[in-house]
């Protein structure tokens, strides 16, 4: 379920700009990790911590369940959160699982907190994720009412998000 601040930040943007309800958009923003990470990290059922819920098929099924259990607005809000999660994890998702076979990269798992805490708690990861969350929350302040301020904040958000996704993670590669 890491990095949670970044997923919350993307969900908050979904609430702000797509008028999604708070609770379903937040659930949609974190549920893919709540399901996929334990299946890999704890139970070793899946080959990687991003699996079924990190695909369009998982998005479709989960949104359909939200629609069936609740209503259209809840399903829409959940879908926005789930899509925001997939966008935040764009560096690798099995987008077309189960229709396409994927070679999954090596990765870190939640049990590394006990084995090698530095593989989970990168100070730079937490910093960048927290900055994204701070920028998303700032958009709700009265200081962000002007479109020019919103554009500047969203540009900074996008730049940090792209950097976060594309940077080479030497610490992870060394730990693998």
In the block, which residue shows the tokens 């189960």? 98
For the entire predicted model, the pTM comes to 0.83
Kindly compute the dihedral angle of the four CA atoms of residues 94, 159, 37, 121, in this order, to the nearest 10 degrees: 140
Chain segment 109-139, per-residue pLDDT in tens: 555 555 555 555 566 777 888 999 999 999 9
Nearest CA-CA partner of 4 in 12, 73, 111: 12
3-state secondary structure of 69: helix
Query: What integer pLDDT is reported at residue 128 of this predicted model?
Result: 85
pLDDT in the model for residue 152: 96
CA angle 59, 54, 135 (to 5 degrees): 95
Query: How many residues comprise the chain?
Result: 176
| Beta carbons within 8 Å of 56's beta carbon, 6+ residues apart | 95, 96
- The pLDDT tens digits of the residues spanning 46-102 come to 888 899 999 999 999 999 999 999 999 999 999 999 999 999 888 889 999 999 998
> What's the number of domains the chain is made of?
1
Percent of the chain at pLDDT > 90 equals 61
Alpha helices per DSSP H over the chain: 4-18, 22-41, 56-69, 72-88, 112-115, 123-138, 147-166, 170-175
Q: State which residues form the domain around 84.
A: 4-175
Report the pLDDT value the prediction gives residue 117, as an integer from 0 to 100: 57
What sign does the dihedral 20-22-24-27 (CA atoms) show? positive
Is residue 173 pLDDT above 90, yes or no? no
């Amino acid at each position: 379920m890491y990095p949670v601040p970044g997923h919350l930040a993307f969900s908050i943007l979904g609430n702000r700009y797509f008028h999604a309800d708070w609770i379903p958009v937040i659930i949609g923003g974190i549920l893919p990790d709540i399901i996929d990470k334990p299946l890999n990290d704890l139970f070793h059922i899946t080959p990687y911590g991003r699996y079924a819920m990190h695909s369009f098929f998982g998005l479709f099924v989960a949104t359909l369940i939200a629609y069936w259990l609740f209503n259209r607005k809840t399903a829409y809000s959940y879908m926005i959160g789930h899509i925001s999660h997939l966008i935040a994890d764009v560096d690798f998702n099995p987008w077309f699982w189960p229709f396409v076979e994927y070679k999954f990269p090596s990765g870190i798992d939640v049990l590394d907190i006990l084995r090698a805490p530095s593989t989970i708690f990168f100070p730079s990861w937490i910093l960048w994720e927290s900055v994204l969350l701070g920028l998303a929350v700032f958009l709700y302040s009265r200081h962000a009412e002007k479109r020019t301020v919103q554009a500047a904040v969203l540009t900074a958000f996008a730049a940090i998000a792209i950097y976060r996704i594309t940077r080479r993670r030497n610490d992870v590669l060394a730990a693998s």
